[in-house]
Amino acid sequence: MRAVLFYEHGGPEVLQVTEFPSPCAGRGEVLVSVKAAALNRMDIWTRKGWPGIKLEYPHILGADGAGSIAAVGEGVTGWKEGDRVVINSNLGCGRCEFCLAGQDNLCREWRLLGETVRGTYAEYVVVPAQNVYPLPAGFDERLAAAAALVFHTAWHSLITRGNLRPSERVLVVGAAGGVNLASIQIAKLAGAEVYVVGSDAQKLAVAKSLGADHLIDSSEEENWSKTIYSLTEKRGVDVVVDNVGTTFALSFRALRKGGRLLTVGNTGGAKFEIDNRYIFGKHLAIIGSTMGNLRDFATVMDLVFAGKLKPVIDRSYPLGEVREAHQRMEEGKQMGKITLDIGK
């Protein structure tokens, strides 16, 4: 099969488009013929590596993918060759106490497809049968791949963990990333009033087109917590979605007393100072999560398939131009998801 491999960490130049033996579906697994994959920021981190990361080389990146079943492993029921599917990249063992409780993103042997397991930047990928979900006839594979990880993550954070309620006020910090664009739409669908802070007018315009009620341009209003304060009659918002991290200080100020800060990432850097007085003084809750469970995936993908949530695609590249695709994401130029076109 054609695949994107790398043998050492580094820049986009370590990615090689070449032939590699296709994997085989083992017991309980399915082989998926990938038609489209989508890029995530995690792909860059994995390519660059971090202290302690252990990969079986060559590694294949890619968490998101959609295509069709090419083969089913022993013991798999309910799927047959040719069934169209979208991949859920959250790999649980299916046996531990958390998986048994439906909390497969807390799995004791949790893994993420494409991070430490060979992923979707290839014509074929193997996943557990529970990690594929039916793709309705006529629904585009690019859109499905672009939706999967970001909507899954945002849904679990806002709805399952964040318990978002209609009429609540939600601030999303950042107007460009896939998870933030998904969060804006989910918050609107849930009946919330949505504030978005972003660093450029073009990206804010995308947020507005997705339903954001209030836009704040951080290039003009550096201390946007003040703006939130005045926009909310000195009350503050109920929920902040902050996947930047280094903006926590402003997010704490923007929250009302008893507010929740939801975080699923740290695009601004992993380590920063926190003023604890805000947390106890304002009764704040910081709620972290990664990915979501099987039920979240089914729920949110059904909403995507019904057209109630719309993945935003920035640009699609052929597999052979994967380096250019990585370059674009690394430069932060994209608005929405970057996808790769792979198989037929």
Residues that bind Zn ion (CB under 5 A): 92-93, 96, 99, 107
Nearer to Zn ion, 107 or 250 (CB): 107
Measure the CA–CA gap between 317 and 308, rounded to whole angstroms. Answer: 26
The first and second tokens of residue 139, run together, are 């629904």
Q: Which residues, 6+ apart, have CB-to-CB distance to 283 below 8 Å? A: 257, 258
Question: Minimum distance from CB of 102 to Zn ion (Å)?
Answer: 11
The first and second tokens of residue 10, run together, are 């580094």
Question: Minimum distance from CB of 110 to Zn ion (Å)?
Answer: 7
Question: Minimum distance from CB of 95 to Zn ion (Å)?
Answer: 6
Nearer to Zn ion, 98 or 124 (CB): 98
Nearer to Zn ion, 53 or 101 (CB): 101
What SS3 class is residue 36?
strand
Question: Minimum distance from CB of 103 to Zn ion (Å)?
Answer: 9
Residue 218 burial (CB count, 10 A): 19
Nearer to Zn ion, 14 or 96 (CB): 96
Nearer to Zn ion, 93 or 205 (CB): 93
Q: What is the DSSP string of 211-272?
A: T-SEEEETTT-S-HHHHHHHHTTT--EEEEEE-SSTTHHHHHHHEEEEEEEEES--TT-S--
Angle at 115 between CA 112 and CA 119, to 5 degrees: 85
The first and second tokens of residue 101, run together, are 């409780």
Question: Minimum distance from CB of 101 to Zn ion (Å)?
Answer: 10
